[in-house]
């Protein structure tokens, strides 16, 4: 125990309730401290998350070029995005188990190694007959995502004090959004449409080498600096979990508790719908924009970038609002309703305007709320399910996102080709309306806040 630290005799209300139930007075004290290195850990994670998510959309956003170069169908290109969703569903459960069993460092290292491996495989796929190799590399990166998306809530809880947890979680999610933004922006710049196949190949080579080098640097940073947890817990909520974890806890018991938590189940479906709609729009954005604005591949990428950048701002704003107000239910419901309204506006503006800058504005507004919702959902889930592991609750949320992402992307693409964009977008509006209703009826059961608002201090 470090010198100079004052020890406080603090006992949470959760300790008190457990003691009363067992007729035992719990006098155990655990010292807490917030470490400066938490910011380095968070920055490394942000870069690591970005290095993976930047590859999610790198093919779909230049779908017309990829289909020409590799001589494959648009469905095959869409699958390079959907493989992230497909692989997540079966792999999230072992990934969540390993995160809970071995901690943050093990999970992050595993994901980083997989991301690096997949990135370098793609380097050797630059040839019109090697789409299968590039798909193997993409699949390897996609599987690695299962060791990323569940981490922000867990990292924030393990390293940060309670007045910074929501902001830290939003910054962690920011990494995923940053990567997607890069994936929207740079592929259309590096790989441009050209009648010369070799010219396209040179662009792909440059893109794959840059990504592989970046992921390798991040892996080195993780090996050198990333730690699972601080020597002392940052707050009494984590101290309480530390006490309980001295006795091994069944992963499957946690899963059972989560799946019998009514409020969490409602959030599970509403969160999945919101993010599933976002996945569908992002995957097919190139096709939507080119339908109205031919030869505007770069604009499609920039509109995607606008969605994500606005979402980054939304994430940070929502995280600050949660830290300041602790109004988890109200913030979640409000952001969801604005996402629904934004989708309605996007649907009608898209078919009625001839000015592409209008699409930028509407898409940015939609992104602010729809992407900004991501960390809000994570934090609300942590409140509803405390003291269950944040990685497990976040993992289930993301698994449901992938399920809805596959469904919505497949149906959205089908409706686009059969009925056109208006009815396809209207379908997504109806889905968000259902999600808004589910969000509104979630019980406002803030379990983590209850522990922190009723501390019992012994003299």
Q: Are residues 220 and 260 in the same domain?
A: no
pTM of model > 0.75: no
Domain range for 88: 34-232
| Residue 219 confidence (pLDDT) | 95
* Gap between the Cα atoms of 108 and 143, Å rounded: 13
Q: Are residues 265 and 153 in the same domain?
A: no
* Gap between the Cα atoms of 85 and 267, Å rounded: 19
Does the pLDDT value for residue 56 go beyond 80? yes
| Residue 255 confidence (pLDDT) | 78
* Gap between the Cα atoms of 236 and 456, Å rounded: 11
Domain boundary among 204, 232, 260: 232
Q: Are residues 213 and 269 in the same domain?
A: no
Residue 361 domain-assigned (yes or no)? yes
Highest mean pLDDT among 89-98, 247-256, 361-370: 361-370
Total structural domains in the chain? 2
Hey, which residues does 196 pair with through a beta bridge?
Answer: none
| Residue 241 confidence (pLDDT) | 54
Residue 117 domain-assigned (yes or no)? yes
| Residue 168 confidence (pLDDT) | 82
Length of the chain: 459
Q: Are residues 428 and 354 in the same domain?
A: yes
Q: Give the mean pLDDT of 382-406.
A: 81
Q: Are residues 438 and 300 in the same domain?
A: yes
Highest mean pLDDT among 35-49, 114-128, 173-187, 243-257: 114-128
pLDDT per residue as tens digits for the range 323-338: 787 788 888 888 899 9
Q: Are residues 220 and 313 in the same domain?
A: no
Domain boundary among 176, 205, 232: 232
Does the pLDDT value for residue 453 go beyond 70? no
Domain boundary among 175, 201, 232: 232
Residue 376 domain-assigned (yes or no)? yes
| Residue 24 confidence (pLDDT) | 39
Cα angle 315, 319, 324; round to 5 = 150
* Gap between the Cα atoms of 266 and 258, Å rounded: 11
Q: Are residues 266 and 332 in the same domain?
A: yes
Q: Are residues 220 and 257 in the same domain?
A: no
Could you tell me the CATH number of the domain that includes residue 60? Answer: 1.20.1250.20
| Residue 432 confidence (pLDDT) | 93
Does the pLDDT value for residue 25 go beyond 70? no
* Gap between the Cα atoms of 142 and 90, Å rounded: 12
pLDDT per residue as tens digits for the range 192-239: 878 888 899 999 999 999 999 999 999 999 999 988 888 776 665 555
Better-predicted residue by pLDDT, 441 or 170: 441
Q: Are residues 412 and 332 in the same domain?
A: yes
Res. 433 pLDDT band, cuts 50 70 90 = very high
């Amino acid at each position: 125990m470090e010198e100079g630290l004052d020890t406080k005799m603090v006992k949470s209300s959760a300790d008190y309730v457990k003691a009363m139930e067992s007729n035992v007075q719990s006098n155990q004290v655990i010292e807490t401290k917030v470490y400066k290195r938490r910011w380095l850990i968070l920055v490394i994670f942000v870069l690591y998350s970005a290095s993976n998510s930047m590859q999610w959309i790198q093919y779909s956003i230049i779908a017309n070029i990829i289909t020409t170069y590799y001589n494959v169908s648009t469905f095959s290109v869409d699958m390079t995005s959907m493989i992230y969703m497909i692989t997540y569903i079966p792999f999230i459960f072992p990934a969540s188990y390993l995160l809970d069993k071995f901690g943050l460092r093990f999970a992050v290292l595993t994901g980083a190694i997989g991301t690096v491996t997949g990135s370098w495989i793609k380097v050797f796929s630059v040839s019109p007959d090697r789409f299968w190799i590039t798909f193997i590399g993409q699949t390897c990166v996609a599987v690695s995502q299962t060791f990323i998306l569940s981490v922000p809530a867990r990292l924030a809880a393990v390293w940060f004090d309670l007045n910074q947890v929501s902001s830290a979680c939003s910054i962690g999610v920011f990494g995923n959004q940053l990567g997607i933004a890069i994936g929207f922006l740079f592929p259309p710049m590096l790989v441009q449409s050209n009648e010369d196949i070799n010219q396209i190949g040179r662009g792909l080579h440059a893109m794959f080498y840059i990504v592989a080098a970046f992921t390798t640097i991040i892996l080195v940073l993780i090996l050198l600096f990333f730690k699972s947890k601080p020597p002392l817990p940052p707050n009494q909520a984590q101290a309480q979990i530390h006490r309980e974890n001295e006795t091994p806890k069944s992963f499957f018991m946690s899963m059972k508790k989560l799946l019998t938590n009514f409020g969490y189940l409602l959030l599970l479906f509403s969160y999945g719908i919101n993010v599933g709609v976002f996945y569908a729009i992002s995957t097919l954005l190139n096709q939507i924009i080119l339908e109205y604005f031919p030869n505007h591949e770069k604009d499609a990428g920039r509109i995607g970038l606008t969605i994500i950048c606005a979402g980054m701002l939304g994430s940070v704003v929502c995280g600050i609002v949660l830290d300041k107000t602790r109004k988890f239910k109200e913030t979640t419901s409000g952001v969801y309703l604005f996402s629904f309204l934004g989708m309605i506006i996007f649907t009608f503006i898209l078919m009625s305007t001839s000015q592409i800058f209008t699409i930028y504005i509407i898409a940015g507004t939609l992104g602010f709320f729809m992407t900004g919702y991501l960390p809000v959902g994570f934090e609300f889930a942590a409140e509803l399910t405390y003291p269950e592991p944040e990685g497990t609750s976040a993992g289930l949320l993301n698994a449901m996102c992938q399920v809805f992402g596959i469904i919505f992307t497949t149906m959205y693409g089908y409706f686009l080709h059969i009925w056109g964009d208006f009815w396809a977008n209207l379908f997504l509006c109806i889905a968000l309306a259902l999600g808004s209703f589910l969000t509104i009826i979630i019980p406002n059961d803030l379990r983590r806040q209850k522990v922190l608002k009723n501390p019992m201090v012994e003299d």
